[in-house]
Amino acid sequence: MINEKLALNLTKIKNTGLYRNRMLTTGRVASNFSSNDYLALSDHFEIKQAFQEGFARYTSGSGASMAICGYHPIHQDLEKSFSQLLGADNALLFSSGYAANLGIVSLITQLNAHLFIDKAVHASFYDGIRLFSPKYTRFFHNNYDELDKKLNGKKAEAIITVEGVFSMSGQKSDLHAIHKLCLEHKAVCIVDEAHSFGILGPNGLGAVALHGLSQDIVPLRMIAFGKALGIQGAIVVGSKDWIDALFQWSRSNIYSTAISPALTYGILKSLDILYKADDKRENLKNGISYFKNKIATSPLVWRDSDTHIQQLQLGCPHKALFYASQLQDKGITCMALREPTVTRLETGLRVILRADHKPEDIDNLFKHLHNIYESTYRNS
């Protein structure tokens, strides 16, 4: 009986065009427009060497959660490096950005504060909300007038949560506007820097650094290592008491094994290289300009974004899958973006630009996208 239900559910999801496939990543790196390895550090020679050294010098496993005996000196070194670079008091490592965001929502719930989230925040915040049930209000994506009105009606201390660069729209948060609102409404802001760290700000230190905000206004910012740093894991950086409280109330930290000490050594090296990678950031900036120029003459519908994340809107999951599979046949990886990750309207392709993409890689992508568009347009 349960097996039949399972099969029925799988058939249903296939029919809606929302079935997910795991695809082996094997093709040319240059033809991959879905990887978050923005600065192409995941295959960086020196970082890989540091990993080898890390595994020679440190234990491969931490042995326990940080709350038991899994907190090693190399973890503390990495936390100190991040907090010093970002002008914050302290930091707390997590095994993933997903776990870190669950921990943040868990803390907000403990504080009995009122969470105000941009509608476009990552699924991990929504899952945290489901799990811990804080008081929360959503506001339209980057709509600060609406946020202002909603903040007026708050009944508890407000905590605003946004992303430096939003994972799906690629749009940036206006942290100046949010800073102003924080001052007016005695609120604080938590920034998920998953897609802004390594890219924005001086030395790629992120959106909060770009806007020169202090930990008084942004007491916590989350940095996921699986994006520009090209590894995995995450850290939350912030003021002393907030980090202390985060550790007390993050079940996703307390009840989970701390990340590998050997791996942590490699992350330290990646951080050092990311900090110095202005040349790569410049390449990425040039790639974004080149891409935007191509969009200007494209007959397709593109969302307004001036970052490394671009969104092609097709409005239909079957169409999105068709475009993605046609591109894959030409050796280009660009995955479909569908519900529930985005709305129906936003359904399409998410194009991710990396520092090692060349103009000819972008030309090739557009050539094939437009061929698909023209062939389907002619046949419809």
Ligand X SMILES: Cc1ncc(COP(=O)(O)O)c(C=O)c1O
Catalytic residues: 36, 122, 163, 167, 192, 195, 227
Nearest to 101 by CA among 224, 217, 216, 266: 224
DSSP 1: -
Output the DSSP codes for 113-169. Answer: -EEEEETT--HHHHHHHHHH--EEEEE-TT-HHHHHHHHHT-SS-EEEEEESB-TTT
Q: Which is nearer to ligand X, 65 or 298 (CB)?
A: 65
Instruction: State how far the Cα of 210 lies from the Cα of 226, in Å rounded to an integer.
Output: 21
Instruction: State how far the Cα of 1 lies from the Cα of 374, in Å rounded to an integer.
Output: 47
Nearest to 352 by CA among 294, 296, 288, 309: 309
Q: Which residues bind ligand X (CB under 6 A)?
A: 96-98, 101, 122, 124, 163, 167, 192, 194-195, 224, 226, 234
Q: Which is nearer to ligand X, 200 or 372 (CB)?
A: 200
Q: Which is nearer to ligand X, 259 or 372 (CB)?
A: 259
Q: How far is the CB of 121 from ligand X (least distance, A)?
A: 7
Instruction: State how far the Cα of 257 lies from the Cα of 63, in Å rounded to an integer.
Output: 7
Q: Which is nearer to ligand X, 185 or 198 (CB)?
A: 198
- Outline where 297-358 has alpha helix (H): 317-329
Q: How far is the CB of 357 from ligand X (least distance, A)?
A: 20
Q: How far is the CB of 227 from ligand X (least distance, A)?
A: 7
The CA R_g of the chain, rounded to the nearest whole Å, is 21
Task: Tell me which residue has its CB nearest to ligand X.
Answer: 97
Q: Which is nearer to ligand X, 41 or 372 (CB)?
A: 41
Residue 37, SS3 per DSSP: coil
- 23, 32 in Cβ contact below 8 A? no
Q: How far is the CB of 127 from ligand X (least distance, A)?
A: 10
Q: How far is the CB of 136 from ligand X (least distance, A)?
A: 17
Instruction: State how far the Cα of 18 lies from the Cα of 34, in Å rounded to an integer.
Output: 18
